């Protein structure tokens, strides 16, 4: 019998890829999205599929549906989007987590929380392991997202301990690929769009800060493997690519792959911007037999090709 799987935030960048993957694996997929940052174009190929259902709904409002599994991805994830309405952002994280957990409790569904590397804040431990509690500013401009996700993890663990809900928590590190929005303010989408349009590439700060970028298909592999683990294993678990690169070097790589003549310019560094970010994926290797396989250059070529079609 086909599983009924709910993907909240299913019209977003990661959610739409997950819906496609779950449909390909012969599941019934329910996509719930309010289209605050999600895009109907991302899911339009699935609308004619009888195993796909779209529910337009705000995650902060309780809802009822019969499901076997839930992937909770509903929350603005890029700084431009989550800082646009910070109160809405923290409600999406906290009230949204509570609503999916209550649904999971009622339906006995397994539920996976898409948390984030932002729970580590501006880390003083490098690389970041899951037992690191983070260095987060609770009252800064990024707090609505960082602390919202931290509180959501707390809710998940307490629903598990107190009510016995079968939960999984993943911490997603920087992810990129097709279906990213061209104006979402993320590093790779910003740089690709600027390079393809021949505009100056804006680097915040001196460009020495580091990130670790994973391609979307690698992330999906990790998510699905995590959902399939035994009920006693809750996570949290890091899903990211440990290959670390400076912001300046990622810009230069994109210039090379696009053949752009854009120049690098510098702007002021935003508050609380992490100086370094790299996951320790030892736990994912051990528990999931997972590690990323798509190289940065390979993934960037696919992503650049996508942006050429939409610009």
Active site residues: 145
Rounded to 5°, the CA angle 45-49-55 comes to: 85
Q: Quick one: how far is CA 83 from the chain centroid? A: 16
Q: Which one, of 232, 171, 240, 184, lies nearest residue 212 by Cα?
A: 240
Distance (Å, whole) CA 160 – CA 252: 45
* Count of CA atoms in the C-beta half-sphere (13 A) of 120: 26
Write the burial class of residue 23 (CB in 10 Å: 0-12 exposed, 13-18 middle, 19+ buried). middle
Total Cβ atoms within 10 A of residue 96:
26
**Cα dihedral value 84, 85, 91, 94, nearest 10:** 30
State residue 8 phi and psi, 5-degree precision: -80, 140
Rounded to 5°, the CA angle 145-150-152 comes to: 95
């Amino acid at each position: 019998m086909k599983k009924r799987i709910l993907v909240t935030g299913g019209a977003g960048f990661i959610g739409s890829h997950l819906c496609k993957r779950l449909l390909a694996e012969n599941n019934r997929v329910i996509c719930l999205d309010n289209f605050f940052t999600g895009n109907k174009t991302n899911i339009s190929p699935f609308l004619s599929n009888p195993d796909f259902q779209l529910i337009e709904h705000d995650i902060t409002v309780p809802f009822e549906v019969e499901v076997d599994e839930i992937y909770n991805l509903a929350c603005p994830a890029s700084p431009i989007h989550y800082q646009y309405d910070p109160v809405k952002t923290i409600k999406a994280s906290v009230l949204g987590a509570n609503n999916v957990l209550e649904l999971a409790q009622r339906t006995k569904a397994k539920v996976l929380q898409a948390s984030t590397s932002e729970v580590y804040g501006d880390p003083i431990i490098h690389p970041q392991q899951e037992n690191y509690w983070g260095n987060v500013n609770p009252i800064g401009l990024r707090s609505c997202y960082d602390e919202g996700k931290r509180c959501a993890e707390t809710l998940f663990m307490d629903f598990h301990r107190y009510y016995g809900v079968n939960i999984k928590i993943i911490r997603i590190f920087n992810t990129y690929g097709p279906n990213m929005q061209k104006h979402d303010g993320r590093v790779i989408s910003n740089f690709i769009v600027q390079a393809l349009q021949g505009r100056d590439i804006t680097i915040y700060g001196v460009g020495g800060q580091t990130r670790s970028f994973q391609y979307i298909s690698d992330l999906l592999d990790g998510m699905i493997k995590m959902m399939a683990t035994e009920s006693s294993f809750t996570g949290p678990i890091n899903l990211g690519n440990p290959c670390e690169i400076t912001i300046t070097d990622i810009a230069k790589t994109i210039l090379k792959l696009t053949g752009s003549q854009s120049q690098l310019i510098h702007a002021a560094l935003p508050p609380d911007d992490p100086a370094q970010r790299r996951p320790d994926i030892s736990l994912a290797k051990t528990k999931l037999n997972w590690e990323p396989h798509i190289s940065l250059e390979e993934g960037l070529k696919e992503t650049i090709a996508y942006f050429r079609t939409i610009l």
